[in-house]
A and B are shown apart, each in its own frame.
Chain A
Amino acid sequence: MHTQPLKVQIENFRAIQKAQIQIDDITVIAGVNGSGKSTVSKFAYQVIKTAVHFDELVEGYYSQIIRREMAHISIVVSELYASLPNGTLDENELRFRHDLRFFERQQKGGEAQDSDRLAYMIKFKDFLNSIRPYFSQENLNIQPDINESRQNRLKKSLTEKLKINDDSLTILDLLERLKIHLHNILAIPFETKDNRPIDFAEFILKNTFESPLISKSINVFESDVPILDKTKNSIGQVFSIEHVFYLDTPMMLGLTGEENDHRSDLDAVLRKKSSSQTNKSFIESHIKSEIIKGEVESDETNFSQESFVYKRLDGSVFDLLDCATGLKSFAIIQLLLQRGLLTDKTLLIIDEPEAHLHPQWVVEYARMVVLLNKELGVRFLIASHHPDMVSAIKYIGEKENPSANVNFYLAEKSTSDNYQYVYNHLGTDIEAIFASFNAAFDKLDEYGETHKL
């Protein structure tokens, strides 16, 4: 049992009237299509991911803004140089000019890193300070060779950049404003990282849910402490999770350019080279030797490192994109294991893991879930429609790891609203889930001749 249980709480959001779902060792949620299971998965993923990777998300977001700023600054710098009389730059300024050209080449070649951009912005601020004297009124008066039309062009590019419509401002004023503008841009990411404002979570969640969420009664808790702290307007820390992944289809493996956050997130981590601290557990060798009869790896021969290959035990090698979809379900787990990403600080959220699997592999998958929890402490939140997945998790779990805290939930139609669902906690009793599965037999009896021998 994990010492820091997580809990997803959702009320009156989309199809969910009420859900309080505890994620301890293994949690399975069941329910008909449209009962909000994916909403639970996506919401839990986005909130936990935002809390765990907050700093990286902030850096990623502001690097886009900084990238846009860089494009403007390059124009302004060119204008500044063109406006200055020849021979006026000292050694430091010349060095900056050299750095600038180098950076611009990197930027064009796509080699510039976010940290390079940040460092450049700081240098640029210093540069602005150093060239101030050249644009003082006194200097402009005694330097008639500073071309007037150039000055006007510089003023225009600065006013456009700063979105200012005031002709009375001098170049010096505008450079001062530019400095303040740059300071703000540089300061915001640091302040955001320090304050962890809840608005940032709203911004991240908006991409998935497209509606204001913070005002709604939805949250994720760790040990009963809310992650979205609405009283302090901040996003709390999650201590018990370092990695969270959301797998909604095995077909997400090996596809690049995915628009869905969770798919591109997984793609990014799987494309990184294996860490030296891989979990060489027997689960990995069981998947390799007993289930998929081979191993999935990054394609080392591919220069761009943008594909995976399946190496079968007999030595044959196949592009993973050409392999069976069911195999990819296990391949994702295999790759996560190889990269040391499945630990007691990992939460795996999986929607319908049974999709694309033969019933035998459904049971193998369920066993793998139980063993990953037992051996490595990986936590699971699973949405399932499959009787074998549900029963295998229960009964294999009871045999392999009786002390694990396994919880089943069933989304049942609300008594007050025909379009909404209430998630009932079943503990380990899966009878209600099976009653819901068995409704399919009533349909079969209604539409077919099932009673005939």
Chain B
Amino acid sequence: MRYCRATTCEHPFSRSHESCIEVISAVLRTEGCKQQCRKISSEAVCLNVDKVEESLASREQRSKNSTVDFVFGIREKNRQQIVLCELKCNQKEPENFNKSNIDQKVRQTQALIGRDVSLYEKPIVVFKSKILQQMQNRVRRAYNNRNLVEVLDVNGLGELFF
């Protein structure tokens, strides 16, 4: 399945937070991903869930919950899915992977965006290429070797969905 702008923008949650729809490459830059991927078009957009949660927390006068950084839609024929994406590009060294932190972010993002469109089978976590293999190893071991999280660099993200 490949990136789909319509699936991203027409998701009910996106429609209700249109101001938080942003260009993916801009979000990547803001989150410290210096590496750019040509495959990810400058037109490609996502929903900045972090920003949505920030505004919801402010509006509801509660503390901000942890969510993944952004989500985007993918499509193949009539099948649509939403991909949850967490950016860890600022991480310079392969420190211990905080499994419970990621699990919490995924749970709370799922709760926010609902089940109108099914989710891609695994959440995506993006690291710098320099430590990608080491993080793939750590993440797998954090999940007792189960393949429950997709660990990619920016290029890998582009290759997989764009």
Q: Do A and B bind each other?
A: yes
- A437: chain B residues within 8 A (beta carbon): 133, 137
Please measure, in the bound complex, the distance between the C-alpha atom of A432 and the C-alpha atom of B137, giving whole angstroms. Answer: 12
Interface of A is mostly: helix
Contact A451 B133 (CB under 8 A): no
Contact flags A265-295 to B (C-beta < 8 A → 1, else 0): 0000000000000000000000000000000
Please measure, in the bound complex, the distance between the C-alpha atom of A450 and the C-alpha atom of B140, giving whole angstroms. Answer: 10
Assign chain A's interface to a size class: 10 to 19
- A431: chain B residues within 8 A (beta carbon): 130-134
Contact B137 A387 (CB under 8 A): yes
Q: Is A434 an interface residue (CB 8 A)?
A: yes
Please measure, in the bound complex, the distance between the C-alpha atom of A452 and the C-alpha atom of B122, giving whole angstroms. Answer: 10
Q: Is A239 an interface residue (CB 8 A)?
A: no
Tell which of B2-10, B30-38, B71-79, B142-150 binds the partner: B142-150
Q: Is A445 an interface residue (CB 8 A)?
A: yes
Return A79 CB to nearest CB of chain B, in Å: 75
* Interface of chain A residues 401 through 446 with chain B (CB within 8 A): 429-432, 434-435, 437-438, 441, 444-445
Contact B94 A391 (CB under 8 A): yes
Contact B145 A434 (CB under 8 A): no
Return B108 CB to nearest CB of chain A, in Å: 17
Please measure, in the bound complex, the distance between the C-alpha atom of A168 and the C-alpha atom of B147, giving whole angstroms. Answer: 89
Q: Is B121 an interface residue (CB 8 A)?
A: yes
Choose among A430, A444, A452 the residue that contacts B145 (Cβ–Cβ < 8 A): A444
- Chain A residue nearest to B122 in the complex (CB): A451
Return B97 CB to nearest CB of chain A, in Å: 13
Contact B146 A452 (CB under 8 A): yes
Contact A434 B137 (CB under 8 A): yes
* Interface of chain A residues 372 through 398 with chain B (CB within 8 A): 387, 391, 395
- A445: chain B residues within 8 A (beta carbon): 147
Q: Is A187 an interface residue (CB 8 A)?
A: no
Choose among A391, A429, A430, A441 the residue that contacts B140 (Cβ–Cβ < 8 A): A441
Please measure, in the bound complex, the distance between the C-alpha atom of A437 and the C-alpha atom of B137, giving whole angstroms. Answer: 8
Chain A-chain B contacts (Cβ-Cβ < 8 Å), number: 43
Please measure, in the bound complex, the distance between the C-alpha atom of A162 and the C-alpha atom of B147, giving whole angstroms. Answer: 75
Q: Is A453 an interface residue (CB 8 A)?
A: yes
Contact B130 A441 (CB under 8 A): no
Please measure, in the bound complex, the distance between the C-alpha atom of A387 and the C-alpha atom of B148, giving whole angstroms. Answer: 20
- Chain A residue nearest to B143 in the complex (CB): A450
Choose among A429, A430, A451 the residue that contacts B146 (Cβ–Cβ < 8 A): A451
- B145: chain A residues within 8 A (beta carbon): 441, 444, 450
Contact flags B135-157 to A (C-beta < 8 A → 1, else 0): 01100110001111000000000
* Interface of chain A residues 78 through 133 with chain B (CB within 8 A): none
- B141: chain A residues within 8 A (beta carbon): 387
Please measure, in the bound complex, the distance between the C-alpha atom of A431 and the C-alpha atom of B136, giving whole angstroms. Answer: 10
Q: Is B60 an interface residue (CB 8 A)?
A: no
Q: Is B93 an interface residue (CB 8 A)?
A: yes
- B122: chain A residues within 8 A (beta carbon): 451
Choose among A387, A430, A435, A451 the residue that contacts B147 (Cβ–Cβ < 8 A): A451
Please measure, in the bound complex, the distance between the C-alpha atom of A430 and the C-alpha atom of B94, giving whole angstroms. Answer: 11
Please measure, in the bound complex, the distance between the C-alpha atom of A53 and the C-alpha atom of B130, giving whole angstroms. Answer: 44
Please measure, in the bound complex, the distance between the C-alpha atom of A258 and the C-alpha atom of B130, giving whole angstroms. Answer: 45
Choose among B93, B134, B146, B147 the residue that contacts A434 (Cβ–Cβ < 8 A): B134
Contact A441 B136 (CB under 8 A): yes
- A438: chain B residues within 8 A (beta carbon): 133, 136-137, 140
Choose among A429, A432, A444, A451 the residue that contacts B148 (Cβ–Cβ < 8 A): A451
Return A441 CB to nearest CB of chain B, in Å: 5
Return A427 CB to nearest CB of chain B, in Å: 13
Please measure, in the bound complex, the distance between the C-alpha atom of A267 and the C-alpha atom of B32, giving whole angstroms. Answer: 55
- Chain A residue nearest to B132 in the complex (CB): A431
Contact B136 A434 (CB under 8 A): yes
Return A433 CB to nearest CB of chain B, in Å: 8
Please measure, in the bound complex, the distance between the C-alpha atom of A429 and the C-alpha atom of B145, giving whole angstroms. Answer: 24
- Chain A residue nearest to B151 in the complex (CB): A438
Return B88 CB to nearest CB of chain A, in Å: 16
Query: 19 A–B contact pairs at CB < 8 A?
Result: A387-B137, A387-B141, A391-B94, A391-B134, A395-B93, A429-B130, A431-B131, A431-B132, A431-B133, A434-B136, A435-B133, A438-B133, A441-B136, A441-B137, A441-B147, A444-B147, A451-B121, A451-B146, A453-B148
Which B residues contact A (CB, under 8 angstroms)? 93-94, 121-122, 130-134, 136-137, 140-141, 145-148
Which A residues contact B (CB, under 8 angstroms)? 387, 391, 395, 429-432, 434-435, 437-438, 441, 444-445, 450-453
Given contacts A395-B93, A450-B146, list 13 more A-B pairs with CB under 8 A. A387-B137, A391-B94, A431-B132, A431-B133, A431-B134, A432-B133, A434-B136, A438-B133, A438-B137, A441-B136, A441-B137, A451-B121, A451-B122
User: What 4 pairs across the A-B complex have the smallest Cβ distances?
Assistant: A434-B133, A450-B147, A435-B133, A431-B133
